[in-house]
Amino acid sequence: MKKLAISVMALLAIVTAFTTAGAGAAAESKLDAVIAELLGSPYKYGGTTPKGFDCSGFTAYVFAKFGIDLPHNSASMAKEGVKVAKEDLRKGDLVFFNTSGKGISHVGIYVGDGKFAHASSSKGVVITPLSDKYYANRYVTARRILSDSVYEKIAVAQPEEEESAE
């Protein structure tokens, strides 16, 4: 059954579960929290801030929050890290699509449960199932840029920590 703790982290987890339609999401990682606060940001070609993102600007912005520098270009991002099979995706992996017909032209961040976060040119920052017909037909590859230790630190829900007094 569900366990609910009265804490800020529990409330954030509930909000994230609701906004990502992730039924069964019990806790939130640092990565989830950053993405959740950006959901609904508008699309802007070349955009790199919450006032407006394009797909690579959104991805680079999220990872910069954790001290990870990525190029502001989806095709260049696809050369980072190591290739990962679609069936082996884990939170924080980058997923790439050919939406232009000319090679990799779109990137998103895998968030688990078969879904990815990205800046859609029509909807802004959203979470979309990889099984969505449009994206499923255009999927190219995925890359893992997070080491196991960084993955554990930012993409896995952590027990409550007193990292900072807020």
78: left (phi over 0), alpha (psi -120 to 50) or beta: alpha
Q: Which amino acid is at 120?
A: S
Domain 29-154 CATH assignment equals 3.40.50.300: no
Half-sphere exposure of residue 80, counting CA atoms within 13 Å on the CB side?
Answer: 23
Q: Which residue is listed with tokens 């569900």?
A: 2
Question: Annotated active-site positions, please?
Answer: 55, 106, 118
Tens-binned pLDDT, residue by residue, of the chain (166 aa): 333 333 333 333 333 444 433 333 446 999 999 999 999 999 999 999 999 999 999 999 999 999 999 999 999 999 999 999 999 999 999 999 999 999 999 999 999 999 999 999 999 999 999 999 999 999 999 999 999 999 999 999 876 654 544 4
Please give the Cα distance from 41 to 126 (Å, whole number): 8
Q: Where are the alpha helices (DSSP H) in 50-163?
A: 55-64, 74-77, 133-136, 148-154
Q: Which two tokens stand for residue 58?
A: 């959104």
Give the dihedral of Cα atoms 155, 156, 162, 164; nearest 10 deg. Answer: 10
- Locate the domains of the chain by residue range: 29-154
Predicted pLDDT of residue 18: 40
**Which SS3 state, helix, strand or coil, does residue 130 take?**
coil
